[in-house]
Amino acid sequence: MNSALGGLDHLLANWKPPLVVVLDHSDVWRHVRAASPRTLMVGRLPLSGEPDWSDPSLDAGKAARSHCDAVLPVAERMGETYDFWQGVNEPVVQSVDGMKRLAEFDAERARILSGHGFRAVVGSFGVGNPSRLAWWHHFLPALEAARQFRGALALHEYAWPTLDHEAPWYLLRHRKVYKGEPAHNWSGFPAHLALMPLLITECGLDALIVQPKPQGWRGLYGRDTGRYLRQLTWYDGELQKDAYVLGAALYCCCTPDDPQWASYNIWPELAQAVAHEARPAYRSARYAAPAPAEEPSASTEPEASGGARPVPPPIPDVQAPSPPGPPPDDRLGEVVQRLDRILALLEERGRKTSR
């Protein structure tokens, strides 16, 4: 949420979405927290002068301490309002060494925040990043720290021109991250990280994948929320298959005087429609979900242009279709695991409140 828009706090209190990412750290969010205690809330503090991960002289630990020095005063003021704090937004990593520096930064940040009673999300990678799946080998120290200090992994997932376009590489890329992609020398997370909580802290339609000019869902559909909701139905159904996903935050709610991102704005029509139809609304039966796209072949792997978001390298041959979902009994087990993790988060919040 880019700001506390008039009426937004009341809508969220009634909607009770699974995840909200907040950039405006005002007292209104305390009221939202009180009204929707089960909503996971992530605080993000935009800072200037983010670290250059390609700089060999970068002291990642020192950079993490500097980052936390800026975040902690706001975190202390907001107290128990947020469950997690985000670090660098969409870090640009262009090498193995850069990935190692980012991992050290996020691991140290998780340690420092934990020492002050706060938890961190690590990663916060943009769509299609890191561009090489094998580089996840070098981010494992950050994931280990997140696990040790009760944090989570954050990713951004976007697609264009429809949510299911090239889904295995874009909107559902997290499955390749978690489960692996042998053709790209990545075997997935080790067993003890297989259920690392994942927060999709940004998602939606984004033309930056294919062009340098920002364009969101309104650029295609205007005020026709139904066409977007039908695609969100499909995406939500896919996320329900992944027990480690705790929530996905649609991008974005912003003020009318923010023209660069106006075409992405879900306020008020889409946010109201999602909150009204169901909780979450896009599972409503009135919106028929589109059939998911088939796995892409190497010949159809998209190319970025004009400095747009990086895309993964093409795969050498046609990917096999996704296996069918688990039987109902197994799905129930996944749901129980998801609820157990959410309850653990709530219990942790209770312990912190009683300090």
8-353 maps to CATH 3.90.1690: no
Phi, psi values for residue 150, rounded to 5°:
60, 40
CA distance 80 to 2: 20
pLDDT at 139: 98
Identity of residue 52: D
pLDDT at 10: 85
pLDDT tens readout for residues 247-295: 999 999 877 667 888 999 999 889 988 887 644 444 433 334 444 444 4
User: Does residue 2 have a pLDDT over 90?
Assistant: no
Q: Are strands 84-85 and 245-250 parallel, antiparallel or unpaired?
A: unpaired
User: Does residue 241 have a pLDDT over 70?
Assistant: yes
Residue where the block lists tokens 């500097």: 66
168, 181 contact by CB (below 8 A)? no
Residue 28, CB-side half-sphere exposure with 13 Å CA sphere? 18
Report the share of the chain in percent with pLDDT over 90: 66
75, 118 contact by CB (below 8 A)? yes
Task: Tell me the torsion sign for CA atoms 171, 174, 175, 181.
Answer: positive
pLDDT at 7: 84
User: Does residue 9 have a pLDDT over 80?
Assistant: yes
CA distance 268 to 160: 22
214, 208 contact by CB (below 8 A)? yes
Of the given ranges (5-19, 29-43, 227-241), which has the lowest mean pLDDT? 5-19
